[in-house]
């Protein structure tokens, strides 16, 4: 999935894997009690599955767990940020 920074703090566009749709991810949205951000996405999976689970628990649940609160687009942004950081650190 292609991840592209929108220019707004914490916001990215992520290409969908099954169509030509781009989803907007705000990685700084939905802060939990532990001050970690779950992130929010415009995709159907987030709206119908992840968001209701977040509303129940307010706790981040990763995508490989039941009742997950992060869709694949949020996970793609997290990986992209991590890869960019690792690349930056490797040239220091």
Q: Is residue 65 part of a domain?
A: yes
Q: Determine the pLDDT at residue 18.
A: 77
Q: Determine the pLDDT at residue 91.
A: 80
Q: Determine the pLDDT at residue 43.
A: 96
Tokens of 55: 């509303």
Q: Is residue 92 part of a domain?
A: no
pLDDT in tens, the chain (92 residues): 899 999 999 999 999 987 789 999 999 999 998 999 999 999 999 999 999 999 999 999 998 999 999 999 999 999 999 888 888 788 86
Domain range holding 51? 3-87
Q: Is residue 40 part of a domain?
A: yes
Q: Determine the pLDDT at residue 58.
A: 93
Q: Is residue 51 part of a domain?
A: yes
Beta strands in the chain (DSSP E): 3-5, 11-15, 22-26, 40-41
């Amino acid at each position: 999935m292609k991840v592209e920074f929108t220019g707004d703090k914490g916001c990215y566009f992520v290409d969908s894997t099954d169509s030509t749709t781009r989803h907007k991810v705000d990685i700084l949205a939905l802060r939990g009690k532990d001050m970690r951000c779950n992130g929010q996405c415009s995709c159907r999976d987030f709206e119908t599955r992840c968001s209701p689970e977040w509303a129940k628990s307010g706790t981040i649940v990763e995508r490989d767990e039941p009742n997950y609160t992060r869709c694949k687009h949020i996970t793609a942004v997290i990986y992209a940020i991590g890869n960019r950081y690792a690349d930056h650190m490797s040239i220091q």
